[in-house]
Structure 1
């Protein structure tokens, strides 16, 4: 494999040095193909998924065009979810370190609008956010985007799935017609082409092959009619016993039904769907990613921004209507060279979906026989961790080190019993090994963090 260092591109020395410091030495395929085009000011349609390095691919060229002395919005990035917007904004801030005072502001729903308005009053070079909230700011005239040079539609296919087409059109209507528009999408449905034709001028297309390399994933298909699916699902969970699994359903209603079914069988699944409050959603994602829950049931829309590095299995309770979405779902397991497992339920009437999946994967599918699976003889094992929620977060000046200190200080619990610590604005979550959970809860209830007492509860 030939390597392509960033130094191949005409980038300023300070930027190259910063890339080196944050560990970006070689370009990923999407960066290598799209950066020169983006830097030349061309419009782009790039087919790439999360984890391909696409943020740096659009952020580097966007940063090169920023005039620091002008504090109006010059770069605008639209993302489907708050989680993704936060991730993208953090990455842009890291990349922007090579120059002084580049201000990046995140505007998302599910957060109070007041502080956002305050932030914008001082100007912002780059705005990253969700379409709904950016549209709110345009209505309130707290955001002006008539000087924007570059607009990025990140995960455009997901934004369309989530019904954001009108807000996107409204937002683009407020930007200059000579702007650069970069469109990134993991899949390429007809609506994306229509969006591109309407808002891009002579876009270059970039596709990175082998985005879906599935060689680390074992994939099995099991036939089960709709009435047999719950029973087959339980048998699969019992047979394979994955350490963590995301179960995909096509509708919110099915998610809830599967959740109830598993709960009755002794599992403790989390159910994630689009109607949830942001806080509830954050809490579930934290509990799943810190190993306090080992099963998450979700629709495609609800699973956006779900960035779990170490997912043992993906189970498609319903096959997706779109074979590319199937590939995208399955690609969440077997990452970073680890072994992954994908289990799929299909009815006898879904042969056409199986044919489409086989076509796109360019491989024969492997079928399993659910009759060979044994029913469970003992109750399912519990998740290894427990999450404690502390009613204090960033805005209360609580940091991860403070929480760790409160738990492990003077004859506390040992550090190896503490898992991930996630700090949000007004709440902090800490994962504790199950056997130490009671002691940790007592310690936090009796002790102080930053000299203050906070309410603590076990989730």
Structure 2
């Protein structure tokens, strides 16, 4: 039997059965190193990148140790962004689907306070939230953590970068001293060794089990290129970058790609320019309202949008599978961030490509990056392009005005779309059902037919508002 088999862990039968049904055949390195210690109740300090399986590494431990007879808050997972919190909560619900009546609640800023208060009054086993909103609830007395058994800090380095140190300190002060703490970070504290911890982790952890998983994104799965940025006849460097980006998009023609910019303003400018060139591109940055961020991520994940133009802060923590390519308009200001960007592609054994534009003024940063990673990178000229047709997203997204609160399930939507006079099952893509709404991807060529079908027929015995989501 493999030493990475989940069946070798002290997990409840319901969790093991669910893992088997989900196709979780073997543990990833971070799971194999962190889970046994976490299940024993030990504190864990782990370095692990997004996409390494860290959510299951701490999630299975939380679920295995829940007292389902009690409705008190037993576990709290803190995340740097709303998107990551939503993804973690959804992953925990998926892992827990064969356990009876497990309640996972999200507490994030940008969402109305009232509904969160109402949900808290009904109790929850696991809370997943951002530090600011969790601290708000504690300050208002709407949340108590005196029964907490496990605290998880997911992407702790990013939370510190975003200025959440004080909020985290306030939250920790209101948790039991004997709690278990699981801390996951993409970067490792410089003095975090068996003999010493950083000032931040020393106040959180008691004799932690230390896990260090090297970044698995390498040349085996990711083809990386650094292209020389030539201004040509224009003195406008930003215009030159956009022209070069279009050249690379036409050359590689990804079905899905992420374009990284330095600033929020850049994301809007680049996304607008790409859209004007006939591409399906949307900007993701911290100025967006939660509903808009949610819509954009759904559209990108279900292939209704080809390109996501994002800042590092907005994209950190996004766990989106199947990204064909990453395009950096310049080398990241912090060199370690370059690795995070590149790691968005080439996941789960799939091939990916990462392209970075480098001006002459940035050449020294390329040398620094190579020295840091022990690789000698060469600058290449931009490729010649023959096909300049705009990239086309294969799917379109429909939004329904009903969700989980209305007892709507993905099967209901699929059945309504493929019933009499409907579209074929293979023309239906990803379906995501949220609390009060739902999104479904359909083939772009049958979008109008699918929209008419849902407008005409009743769903769950009643008429449901539906619209086509556009850029």
Match among 180, 198, 204 for residue 199 of structure 1:
204
Q: Distance in 2 between matches of 1:7 and 1:402?
A: 34
Determine whether 1:428 maps to 2:433.
Answer: no
Superposition map of 1:24-423 within 5 A: 24-96=24-96, 102-188=102-188, 193-224=198-229, 226-227=237-238, 228-370=240-382, 372-374=383-385, 378-423=388-433
Query: Which segments of 5 or more consecutive residues in structure 2 lack a partner in the other structure?
Result: 193-197, 232-236
Contact residue 278 and residue 391 of structure 2 kept, 8 A: no
Tell me which residue corresponds to 1:440: 450
Write the deviation string for residues 88-136 of structure 1: whole angstroms up to 9, x where unpaired: 3344445556765554333223333333323322433332222122112
Q: Distance in 1 between matches of 2:100 and 2:467?
A: 42
Write the deviation string for residues 319-374 of structure 1: whole angstroms up to 9, x where unpaired: 2123332112111212222221111012223334323432454433243202x434
Contact residue 216 and residue 334 of structure 1 kept, 8 A: yes
Q: Distance in 2 between matches of 1:351 and 1:146?
A: 54
- Seen in structure 2, the aligned counterparts of structure 1 residues 304 and 448 have a Cα distance that, compared at 3 Å, is farther
- Seen in structure 2, the aligned counterparts of structure 1 residues 12 and 330 have a Cα distance that, compared at 3 Å, is same
Query: How far does residue 259 in structure 1 lie from its aligned partner after superposition?
Result: 1.8
Contact residue 187 and residue 325 of structure 1 kept, 8 A: no
Query: How far does residue 229 in structure 1 lie from its aligned partner after superposition?
Result: 1.1
- Seen in structure 2, the aligned counterparts of structure 1 residues 348 and 191 have a Cα distance that, compared at 3 Å, is farther
Which moves more between the two structures, 272-281 or 218-227? 218-227
- Seen in structure 2, the aligned counterparts of structure 1 residues 158 and 410 have a Cα distance that, compared at 3 Å, is same
Tell me which residue corresponds to 2:234: none
Contact residue 105 and residue 124 of structure 2 kept, 8 A: yes
Which moves more between the two structures, 379-388 or 234-243? 379-388
SS at 1:442's partner residue? helix
Query: How far does residue 255 in structure 1 lie from its aligned partner after superposition?
Result: 1.1
Query: How far does residue 24 in structure 1 lie from its aligned partner after superposition?
Result: 4.0
- Seen in structure 2, the aligned counterparts of structure 1 residues 131 and 3 have a Cα distance that, compared at 3 Å, is same
Which moves more between the two structures, 280-289 or 98-107? 98-107
Query: How far does residue 15 in structure 1 lie from its aligned partner after superposition?
Result: 5.4
Write the deviation string for residues 383-415 of structure 1: whole angstroms up to 9, x where unpaired: 222222222222233332232233221122222
SS at 1:443's partner residue? helix
Task: Provide the alpha-carbon RMSD of the alignment.
Answer: 2.8
Contact residue 323 and residue 345 of structure 2 kept, 8 A: yes
Contact residue 219 and residue 366 of structure 1 kept, 8 A: no
Q: Distance in 1 between matches of 2:111 and 2:130?
A: 11
Determine whether 1:453 maps to 2:463.
Answer: yes
Contact residue 253 and residue 391 of structure 2 kept, 8 A: no
Contact residue 280 and residue 391 of structure 2 kept, 8 A: no
Q: Distance in 1 between matches of 2:312 and 2:165?
A: 17
SS at 2:354's partner residue? strand
Contact residue 49 and residue 215 of structure 2 kept, 8 A: no
Which moves more between the two structures, 306-315 or 276-285? 306-315
SS at 2:146's partner residue? coil
Contact residue 326 and residue 344 of structure 2 kept, 8 A: yes
SS at 1:135's partner residue? helix
- Seen in structure 2, the aligned counterparts of structure 1 residues 348 and 283 have a Cα distance that, compared at 3 Å, is same
Q: Distance in 2 between matches of 1:102 and 1:427?
A: 22
SS at 2:201's partner residue? helix
Which moves more between the two structures, 96-105 or 24-33? 96-105
TM-score by length of structure 1 reads: 0.89
Q: Distance in 2 between matches of 1:181 and 1:397?
A: 36
SS at 1:301's partner residue? helix
- Seen in structure 2, the aligned counterparts of structure 1 residues 360 and 378 have a Cα distance that, compared at 3 Å, is same
Contact residue 250 and residue 388 of structure 2 kept, 8 A: no
Query: How far does residue 65 in structure 1 lie from its aligned partner after superposition?
Result: 4.3
Q: Distance in 2 between matches of 1:101 and 1:437?
A: 37
Q: Distance in 2 between matches of 1:381 and 1:102?
A: 43
Contact residue 398 and residue 439 of structure 2 kept, 8 A: yes
Which moves more between the two structures, 183-192 or 141-150? 183-192
Which moves more between the two structures, 205-214 or 275-284? 205-214
- Seen in structure 2, the aligned counterparts of structure 1 residues 281 and 39 have a Cα distance that, compared at 3 Å, is same
Q: Distance in 1 between matches of 2:41 and 2:31?
A: 15
- Seen in structure 2, the aligned counterparts of structure 1 residues 206 and 356 have a Cα distance that, compared at 3 Å, is farther
